[in-house]
């Protein structure tokens, strides 16, 4: 599973979907374990998850002499969630990532390299569409594109859709857009107009309902490093929406097997 970017609320969506996954059980009855691959050099997802170590990370998986993905996954303060940490040095990979390096995460997925460690893999993609984003898109099957209901947000979602379609056609035929998540939505005339335009453009892939803007979402994640459901403070409806998005995808995946 992957999560893509369209303008806002991107890391929030990745983290809330990861938390939603941990609330569901595998077919054998155990709670699902999740790996978050933080491909954003800003490392916001890494900061929220507070990994046990940051000595090595996803930059080392994409290096010319790479480490195995399983070797860089570390426990976090979120139960059942591991992370491949990011830091500012990950940005260097944009310049030195080779064609073989770009395909690293695809090889890891196809080989089942970490299948014995986790049940779901969620990738937090960077804002800029470049080599690192391509590496992420090659490694996932399901893409959520997150955007605000603004003109720039809709344009960003369209750009990510175009990029995902190119990656699907050239190197990852399993990649499919599983939905567009509208985050930080405000009930203004302009936002409602853009939302209607997005419905016309993206059809049934525009997931409903939109995530309402609530400053306590960033407060929960950024300040307290806590999922919305556990933070409370009226954020349970936000958590419920993300849970529904994840559950729909899980059902679709189970039905296809």
| 3-class DSSP state of 43 | coil
- Mean of the pLDDT values across residues 151-174? 95
Q: How much is the pLDDT for 112?
A: 96
Tens of pLDDT, residue by residue over 229-239, are 999 999 999 99
| 3-class DSSP state of 110 | helix
**Does the structure show a pLDDT above 70 at 197?**
yes
Q: How much is the pLDDT for 8?
A: 52
Q: How much is the pLDDT for 203?
A: 97
Report which of 72, 69, 71, 77 is spatially closest to residue 51, judged by C-alpha positions: 77
Q: What is the mean pLDDT of the chain?
A: 94
Q: Distances in Å between the alpha carbon of 115 and those of 13, 132, 228?
A: 23, 22, 28
- Mean of the pLDDT values across residues 140-160? 94
pLDDT band at 2 (very low <50, low <70, confident <90, very high): very low
Tens of pLDDT, residue by residue over 83-131, are 999 999 999 999 999 999 999 999 999 999 999 999 999 999 998 889 9
Return d(Cα 234, Cα 225) in angstroms, integer.
16
Contact 45, 54 (CB under 8 A): no
| 3-class DSSP state of 89 | helix
Q: Domains in the chain and their CATH numbers?
A: 2-251 (3.40.50.300)
Contact 6, 145 (CB under 8 A): yes
Q: How much is the pLDDT for 3?
A: 39
**Does the structure show a pLDDT above 90 at 254?**
no
Contacts 24+ apart (CB under 8 A), 246-252: 246/17, 246/20, 246/21, 246/24, 247/20, 247/24, 249/1, 249/142, 249/178, 249/179, 250/21, 250/24, 252/178
């Amino acid at each position: 599973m992957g999560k893509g970017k369209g303008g806002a609320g991107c890391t929030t969506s990745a983290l809330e979907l990861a938390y939603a996954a941990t609330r569901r059980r595998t077919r054998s009855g155990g709670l699902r374990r999740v790996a978050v691959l933080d491909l954003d050099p800003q490392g916001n997802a890494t900061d929220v998850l507070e990994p046990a170590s940051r000595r090595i990370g996803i930059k080392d998986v994409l290096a010319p002499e790479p480490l195995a993905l399983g070797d860089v996954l570390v426990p976090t303060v979120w139960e059942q969630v591991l992370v491949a940490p990011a830091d500012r040095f990950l940005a260097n990979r944009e310049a030195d990532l080779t064609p073989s390096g770009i395909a690293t995460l695809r090889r890891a997925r196809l080989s089942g390299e970490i299948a014995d460690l986790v049940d779901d893999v969620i990738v937090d993609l960077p804002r800029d569409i470049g080599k690192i984003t391509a590496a992420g898109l090659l490694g996932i099957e399901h893409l959520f594109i997150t955007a605000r209901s603004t003109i720039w947000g809709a344009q960003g979602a369209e750009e990510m859709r175009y990029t995902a379609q190119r990656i699907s056609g050239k190197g990852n035929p399993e990649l499919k857009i599983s939905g567009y998540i509208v985050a930080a939505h405000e009930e203004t005339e302009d936002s409602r107009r853009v939302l209607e335009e997005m419905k016309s453009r993206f059809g049934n892939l525009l997931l409903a309902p939109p995530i309402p803007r609530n400053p306590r979402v960033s407060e929960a994640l950024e300040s307290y490093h806590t999922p919305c459901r556990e933070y409370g403070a009226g954020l349970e409806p936000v958590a419920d929406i993300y849970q529904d998005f994840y559950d729909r995808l899980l059902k679709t995946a189970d039905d296809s097997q």
